[in-house]
Amino acid sequence: MSETLMVSIYVFVLATFVGVEVISKVPPLLHTPLMSGSNAISGITLVGSLIAAGAGEGSVSVILGTIAVVFATINVVGGFLVTDRMLKMFKKSGGPRGTAS
Amino acid sequence: MTAGIAIAYLVAAVCFILGLKMLSSAQTARRGNLYAAFGMLLAVVGTLVDQRILGFAYIISGLVIGGFAGVVLATKVQMTAMPQMVGLLNGFGGAASALVAYAEYIRLSGDPSPTVFLAGNVDAVVMVTIVLSVLIGTVTFVGSVVAAAKLQGIMRSAPVLYPMQKQINALLLFAALALGGWLVYDASVWYVPLVVIGLAAVLGVTSVIPIGGADMPVIISLMNSYSGLAGATTGFVLNNNVLIISGTLVGTSGLILTDIMCRAMNRSLANVLFAGVGADYSPDEARAEQRTVIRYTPEDVAYMLEHAQSVIIVPGYGLAVAQAQHVLQELATILIARGASVRYAIHPVAGRMPGHMNVLLAEANVPYDLLLEMDQINDDFQNTDVALIIGANDVVNPSARYKKSSPLFGMPILNADRARTVIVCKRSLNPGFAGEDNELFYLKNTMMVFGDAKATLMNLVGIMKK
């Protein structure tokens, strides 16, 4: 087993624990924004798409990569924007001010 | 990878974790989302300045098209359509992961033309990750599109069932994995990955169509998890830690939400995925015994509410369907102005996805400190004058507590029946998704008001303003 793969597995396992710790503290109140926001984060595949689309490795890779860039960008831009739109609506009693300062 | 981009990715990963952490409170959530978006920007810019990028024309056109579509989707979507929106976004993420993994296969197998691959010289471990990424990504994409079509009403939301369904799905998965295994052994036959993709696409359809509309919150959460996993496996393909970290975070998030939804319905994930609940609304024979409910008028209800010191509102999805959130909040404001304490009790499956009802009520300007989850408010019903139930049914059905034969048995419910008076605002006596008659409607302390939720509430507001 190569060393890079071992490192990747370490990262994966540790990230699982971080995920459980962080996500289980999110209250049900915010579960919908959590889904759309985390969804936008999973659009990080965009990074891989950019490399494939821009690698100049031949036409097939570039075409597939470009389609992937489109999909991943919708995911990222749409996800973060809609999450912000929702979170903007959450307000506390007795004050017109939003949650963000 | 240069040191510069490695650091950019590390900072991005930290931003994502901080962003998710700040979602633990409504006060910091919006800033957290900004942190995560900033992390994404950093990762993208870092990648673009990386020396491996040769041509920018395609990249820029892809970013512009995707960015435009994303902005349009995010600004136009109705809050009631949020489950479809998130479903579609999950699907796009999955598709991107699958495409990237497949492009990497084409690059590694050495020939840019798909028809004349030279030799299967792809490293076995890399090939395993490519196969997994393509498989999970494709299932996520197709499954999410089917789920979104069901939620949007483009496809029938009732479960589609046929004989040997589970066995056929198992066979499809086995065939896809077996072909994937062959690819690890010999990656040189160009069409085998395409067959794997085809099988995964069919599996995406056949695994989602048996699931009924009411179970969609579980499927959307599960697809959320898959889209994360697809990203993480792509991270393994590309040896990219920021993909592994983010994908894994999202994967665990989706799994946790799936688990919460299943618990809230007292069902196992296997039961949700395979049981096809809601396929036939065969009317309960027991309902032949004619029981009577007493109809009340909005005037009666207004009188009751005017004299209530404490009110707990139990909203269900029917409220959102009737677009009655705003007028409900108007009623709540009148009650609060009269000195009553008004709170909302939110069941975990009150909407069409986790937390959906909270978003719908926040849109109607209900302050979030009045929105209480089941565990926080369930003991308070017994000291409450009025429980006002609007558009909810199964989540307040007392037979979930004791009637062993009920499909709802064991499901955690809101104790609305323990309030001194229960007011139920409903279109008809039709049972909810579970097809189970609701005992609550026949209780002595229950007042039934029939009619459209919005019309009834507007009527109430009109009477109480006088």
Among candidates A28, A68, A99 on the partner chain, residue whose Cβ is nearest the Cβ of B96 = A68
Q: List CB contacts (< 8 A) between B356 and chain A.
A: 32
* For residue B401, pLDDT beyond 50: yes
Instruction: Report the gap between the CA of A31 and the closest CA in chain B (Å).
Output: 5
Q: List CB contacts (< 8 A) between A96 and chain B.
A: none
If you measure CA to CA, which chain A residue comes closest to B217?
A32
Tens of pLDDT along B329-371?
999 999 999 999 999 999 998 888 899 999 999 999 999 999 9
* For residue B319, pLDDT beyond 70: yes
Ranges under pLDDT 70 in chain A: 1, 57-58, 95-101
Q: List CB contacts (< 8 A) between B252 and chain A.
A: 16, 19-20, 23
Instruction: Report the gap between the CA of B218 and the closest CA in chain A (Å).
Output: 12
What's the Rg (C-alpha) of chain B? 26
Tens of pLDDT along B374-400?
999 999 999 999 999 998 888 899 988
Q: Do A22 and B242 touch (CB under 8 A)?
A: no
Higher pLDDT, B68 or B408: B68
Mean pLDDT for the stretch of residues B456-464: 91
Q: Do A56 and B55 touch (CB under 8 A)?
A: yes
Interface test with B, best of A10, A14, A18, A74 (most B CBs within 10 A): A74
Instruction: Report the gap between the CA of A63 and the closest CA in chain B (Å).
Output: 8
Q: List CB contacts (< 8 A) between B43 and chain A.
A: 44, 46-47
Which domains does chain B possess?
77-274 (no CATH), 295-465 (3.40.50.1220)
* For residue B68, pLDDT beyond 60: yes
* For residue B275, pLDDT beyond 70: no
Residue where the block lists tokens 């889904």:
A35
Q: For chain B, report the end-to-end CA distance as a whole number of angstroms.
A: 72
What is the 3-state secondary structure of chain B?
A: CCHHHHHHHHHHHHHHHHHHHHCCCCCCHHHHHHHHHHHHHHHHHHHHHCCCCCCCHHHHHHHHHHHHHHHHHHHHCCHHHHHHHHHHHHHHHHHHHHHHHHHHHHHHCCCCCCCCCCCCCCCHHHHHHHHHHHHHHHHHHHHHHHHHHHHHCCCCCCCCCCCCHHHHHHHHHHHHHHHHHHHHHCCCCCCHHHHHHHHHHHHHHHHHCCCCHHHHHHHHHHHHHHHHHHHHHHHHHHCCHHHHHHHHHHHHHHHHHHHHHHHHCCCCHHHHHHCCCCCCCCCCHHHHCCCCCCECCHHHHHHHHHCCCEEEEEECHHHHHCCCHHHHHHHHHHHHHCCCEEEEEECCCCCCCCCHHHHHHHHCCCCHHHEEEHHHHHHHHHHCCEEEEECCCHHHCCHHHHCCCCCCCCCCCCCHHHCCEEEEEECCCCCCCCCCCCHHHHCCCEEEEECCHHHHHHHHHHHHHC
Q: List CB contacts (< 8 A) between A50 and chain B.
A: 44, 47-48, 53, 59
Tens of pLDDT along B135-153?
999 999 999 999 999 988 8
Contact A49, A75 (CB under 8 A): no
Interface test with B, best of A9, A45, A57 (most B CBs within 10 A): A45
Q: CA-CA distance, B141 to B130, in Å (whole number)?
A: 16
What whole-number percentage of chain B has pLDDT above 90?
A: 56
Q: What is the ipTM of this complex?
A: 0.92
Q: Do A73 and B63 touch (CB under 8 A)?
A: yes
CA distances to A60, A61, B61, B365 from B102, rounded to whole Å, are: 10, 8, 21, 46
Q: Do A32 and B356 touch (CB under 8 A)?
A: yes
* For residue B287, pLDDT beyond 70: no
pLDDT at residue B283, as a whole number: 45
Tens of pLDDT along A18-43?
999 999 999 999 999 999 999 999 99
Among candidates A61, A65, A75 on the partner chain, residue whose Cβ is nearest the Cβ of B92 = A75
Tens of pLDDT along B41-61?
999 999 998 767 777 888 999
Higher pLDDT, B320 or B12: B12
B126 confidence band (pLDDT: 50, 70, 90): confident
Instruction: Report the gap between the CA of B260 and the closest CA in chain A (Å).
Output: 9
Short-list B198, B136, B49, B65, CA closest to A66: B65
The Cβ of residue B154 has, within 10 Å, a number of other Cβ atoms equal to: 12
C-alpha dihedral (B432, B435, B440, B446), degrees to nearest 10: 50
Q: Do B253 and A47 touch (CB under 8 A)?
A: no
- Residue B49 burial (10 A CB sphere; 0-12, 13-18, 19+): exposed
Among candidates A45, A52, A71 on the partner chain, residue whose Cβ is nearest the Cβ of B231 = A45
Q: Do B96 and A46 touch (CB under 8 A)?
A: yes
Q: Which two tokens stand for residue B97?
A: 């992961």
What whole-number percentage of chain B has pLDDT above 70?
A: 92
Mean pLDDT for the stretch of residues B147-170: 85
B134-148 exposure pattern, b = at least 16 Cβ within 10 A, e = fewer: bbbbbbbbbbbbbbb
Positions of B annotated as catalytic residues are 394
Contact B7, B242 (CB under 8 A): no
Q: CA-CA distance, B161 to B209, in Å (whole number)?
A: 8
Instruction: Report the gap between the CA of B137 and the closest CA in chain A (Å).
Output: 11
Mean pLDDT for the stretch of residues B220-235: 94
Which of the residue ranges A33-42, B290-299, B406-415 would you say has the lowest mean pLDDT?
Answer: B290-299
Most confident of B22-36, B183-197, B211-225, B316-330: B22-36
Short-list B387, B397, B393, B323, CA closest to B361: B323
Mean pLDDT for the stretch of residues B216-241: 92
pLDDT at residue B215, as a whole number: 83
Mean pLDDT for the stretch of residues B226-243: 93
Contact B394, B408 (CB under 8 A): yes
Q: Do B30 and A39 touch (CB under 8 A)?
A: no
pLDDT at residue B195, as a whole number: 92
Among candidates B107, B238, B252 on the partner chain, residue whose Cβ is nearest the Cβ of A57 = B107
